[in-house]
Structure 1
Amino acid sequence: MVLCNRCKLETMDVHWKGRPCVKRDGGPCLVSQEDMELERKIQELQDRRRNLHTRMNASHDPFILTFPPEISSHIFLLSLQEWDYDPVYGDKYWCNGITKGLPTPFLLSSICRGWRQLARSTPMLWTTLTFTLAKPAKGPLVETVRDWLLLSGGLPLDICVSSYEGEDPASEEMYSPVIDALNQHSGRWRELYLRIPAPYVRHFHGSFPPNSLYRLDVSNCTSRREFDGPLPTFRMNFKPSPTDLTMRKIRFSVNDIGWSNLTSLSMESMTFNECIMAIRHAPLLESCTMEEIDSDQGDVAIAKTKIRHMHLRTLDIHFMREDLSIEFLGLMELPVLEAFCYEPMDIAMVDCLFSFLSRSENRLKELALYGNLGEEFPVEGLKKLLDATPFLQCLEFYGFREGVSALDEVLQELSSSAPILAGGTPGFLPHLQSFTFSNCYVSKWEYIPSIYTWPHRKLLRMDLPLT
């Protein structure tokens, strides 16, 4: 007895076991023919229903599917949520490893067939790729990333990869194919944000030189308690030349970065000599931030020659060791400096800052000083420092606590200083437009009303502490 192919399959079901049919004239049996006809009709009904749903969606959506595609695509672009197009907030999708919602492009693609076709044919929707180093909940992430990269066409890419804070992070082996897929598109990188543990840093090396990479942010998120070895080295197969560079707890060589285009530099938990070399090699640098900078036993001695930088306008220094701060400011001459922030300010730094500002022939417009809480601050030293900044427009104090009378002295000077003194000498901070002090101790509040009796102080904005 010979079975038709269909019946052979159906004999595997419990309802058909032991009840085979006979193949007649080379075709399926009558029962199988009837079953095939029913299946064909079911498929036809499903197709009709799918088409009906498309027509229903079109009638319920009188705008998107009736607008010209370029207008509908622009509406989709406007609907992107904040963390879709700003990689800085890319980790908002994740809460303890659980996704809060689909990224907007996928969400738009799930509405209907028309929306899906429109979304998948709009490359701009797919130019920002954000994910966290967690085990994917559904399906392999590498397929999703490859599909995303394909849909972005040949447009420049903004990529953000952030660390995972949950209990069960993904392994390097799991993410190696994903990172390899990103490396294959390194020629299209425009903005690259890496906030990842040290072991992952070496994987992001790129395969092709980028044509439009202007922002590079590499942060080693491994804490010192988890990572006791030397800082990981960041190095790509090509020499990136960004205009905006941020590096945190990473080692690098000046030969690993192209410095000729750099205008903004931020370094945190780096070595002192690396900071000096970076500033020295970036002739167009306009903004520099340094935080928690320390020396390193492996540092190579560098030349102590002065650095006269003709473009640096903004300098922020936070929690750099005092002796290194003095050495750094002693090396710098910044004649076009407009904004300066230093934290924490103490007595030892007054003369150093005065010398630095005087040597730079500054026209400083913004000054922010963060004090050591509770430490006595020299009144005359602060006044001397502020007298060296006659063009100051914005002044900010933070952390000058009880027992520190320096702020009272500044308020008194503001309340009693004419715009021009005898002999044509400018008065105390004659161009001041904004004065902010927070978490500061003030005892002489009566000086504040007197400040506004001077005509040149009428428009002075003063932000006061609440307590």
Structure 2
Amino acid sequence: MTLIGAPVRAALLEQRERTKRSSKAEIERFIEELESKIISLGSQICALEELRDHQRACVLALKHIGSPIHSLPVELLVEIFDLAAGDYPYIEFKDMYRVSQVCSDWRQIAHSTPRLWTRIPSLDLHRKGNVPDPMAALLARSAPLPVRISLGHNYGGINPGILEEVMKVSSRWGYLLVDTIGPTPLSLLRQLAQCRLDNLEEMDLGSIDATESTPPPAFIAPRLRKLSISNFTGEAPQIIMPWAQLTELTFECDCQDGSLEVLTQCTNLVKADITISEWSRPPQVGQDLIYCSQLQSLELWFMAENPLFFDYLSAPVLQELRLHLDLADLPTELHWAAAHFTAFQMRTPNLTRLEIHSSDAFTITSDDLVAALRSAPSLTHLKLGCYDDTVDNAFIRALHYEDGVPPLVPRLHNLVIKWTLVLMEDVLAGMIASRWWDDTELVPSLVARWTHLELQIQCNWDRPLWELREDYHLPPWPILQIFTYTYT
């Protein structure tokens, strides 16, 4: 049984009484009136629902406008977009595409910010067809800022259409990398050299195929400062560069005179990374020194039989020197020319950082190391990575500080030794302790206190390191880091 409310029952009773008194025509008219009212009420309900939905949309829009992301300045939003692309030298187009597709405002900001599009991914010069659409968009949106260009090339032919399109924006190249499989043909370099390179500051040409007999390419780049180049054949670099304006150079040459010829022209170098694959030229009496008056950092990779490079070089303001002696492929064992290196050190009185890494085919004795350190009174950082008995107990004793005895390398406070042989615990611990003191102790005036010690040694000690720390008052971690290993 359905229960009906009192108002409804009253209405039904009233209609029943009225029906009894009304004619059929009156009833039909009354029904039409009621249906009209129902339709009118339905229309009002629809209008109210539409008004409600509109108001809800207004509320959501106002909340969206008032969200924190919309209160950020455009400059800060651009920084966020830039971080979204990562720290890589080249961006993935899809990353910036996603950012620009979030909303119309973000798309407008991204497309109107050229610096977001300056890191162009590698362009494959061997690719068939035209420049890919994403690359064309990047080139267009990056204008007018300098761009980073990477040109990929393999043993196939070069697509002239792609190269032509990229060369159209050569005046905006800020960095150029020729990423090739095998040597870069001179024909490609010659085309690049004909471009306008008004903004080019850094260039990496890889290795050069110098077998062609055509004239060498000549680059004119008024802002070029950093250059990386390898020349595997020929007596001299098969390329003309504004060497005198370079401040950083990475150069590899397999000829005996190529490195010297290049350095002679690089009069303003501040940092150099030189690889010498062959060296057979004996020192000449009266040979003019190559005077590198501004060179501060030098990294040398010797893959040669006679590393006499130092006989020709003078670097009075040199502060950092890294030596890599890699002669593993040679049939005989070779020895370090200590006298040549010591003579070079006399011309570099400001050397503060020294690294020496040698293979087992290149013999450096502990006496050679001590002689090198005696000629480096300003040395503060020393890193040794030798695979023989170069660093032995005698060398460690030479570093021991004793009152009344002039100390070896008195300013040395950062020492890293890797891959050395067995050291006696009392010799090593005593040397470390002699150059270490607590803040409460009297500070010796003739020697610097350790700030970093990293030692990787073969160790057969009877006591654990923590006992040595207590007995010898050694520096705590992380100032002192000792990693031990054993041979099986």
Normalised by the length of structure 2, the TM-score is: 0.66
Report the CA distance shift for 1:270/1:105 in structure 2 as closer, same or farther (over 3 A): farther
CA contact (8 A) 1:183 1:207 kept: no
Matched, 1:146 2:136: yes
The CA deviation at 1:431 is: 0.7
CA contact (8 A) 1:241 1:257 kept: no
- 1-side partners of 2:240 and 2:362: how far apart? 42
In the alignment, which residue of structure 2 is the partner of 1:36?
none
Percent identical residues: 17
Matched to 1:123, the amino acid is P
Write out aligned runs for 1:247-396 (5 A).
247-249=229-231, 256-294=240-278, 304-323=287-306, 325-326=307-308, 328-344=309-325, 347-358=335-346, 360-373=347-360, 377-396=364-383
Write out aligned runs for 1:7-156 (5 A).
59=64, 62-64=67-69, 67-83=72-88, 86-87=89-90, 102-131=93-122, 133=124, 140-156=130-146
Residue range with higher mean Cα deviation, 195-204 or 447-456: 195-204
In the alignment, which residue of structure 2 is the partner of 1:430?
410
CA contact (8 A) 1:291 1:318 kept: yes
- 1-side partners of 2:256 and 2:94: how far apart? 41
Q: Deviations over 1:306-346 (max 9, x none)?
A: 212211122211133132x21x2111122222121222185
Q: In structure 2, list runs of 5 or more residues that go unmatched.
A: 1-56, 327-333, 436-443, 457-482
CA contact (8 A) 2:125 2:152 kept: no
CA contact (8 A) 2:273 2:300 kept: yes
Aligned partner of residue 453 in structure 2, secondary structure:
strand
The CA deviation at 1:432 is: 0.5
Report the CA distance shift for 1:199/1:414 in structure 2 as closer, same or farther (over 3 A): closer
Matched to 1:459, the amino acid is W
The CA deviation at 1:364 is: 1.4
Report the CA distance shift for 1:340/1:59 in structure 2 as closer, same or farther (over 3 A): same
CA contact (8 A) 2:269 2:295 kept: yes
The CA deviation at 1:289 is: 1.0
Matched to 1:309, the amino acid is C
Q: Deviations over 1:22-54 (max 9, x none)?
A: xxxxxxxxxxxxxxxxxxxxxxxxxxxxxx9xx
The CA deviation at 1:419 is: 6.9
- 2-side partners of 1:210 and 1:419: how far apart? 61
Report the CA distance shift for 1:463/1:231 in structure 2 as closer, same or farther (over 3 A): farther
In the alignment, which residue of structure 2 is the partner of 1:441?
421
Report the CA distance shift for 1:259/1:112 in structure 2 as closer, same or farther (over 3 A): same
Bigger radius of gyration, 1 or 2?
A: 2
The CA deviation at 1:356 is: 1.7
**Residue of structure 2 aligned with 1:245, choices 227, 238, 252:** 227
In the alignment, which residue of structure 2 is the partner of 1:157?
147
Aligned partner of residue 148 in structure 2, secondary structure:
strand
**Residue of structure 2 aligned with 1:407, choices 367, 370, 392:** 392
Matched to 1:382, the amino acid is L
The CA deviation at 1:296 is: 11
CA contact (8 A) 1:291 1:317 kept: yes
Matched to 1:447, the amino acid is V
Q: In structure 1, list runs of 5 or more residues that go unmatched.
A: 1-51, 91-100, 164-168, 222-226, 298-302
Normalised by the length of structure 1, the TM-score is: 0.69
Matched to 1:356, the amino acid is F
Report the CA distance shift for 1:68/1:109 in structure 2 as closer, same or farther (over 3 A): same
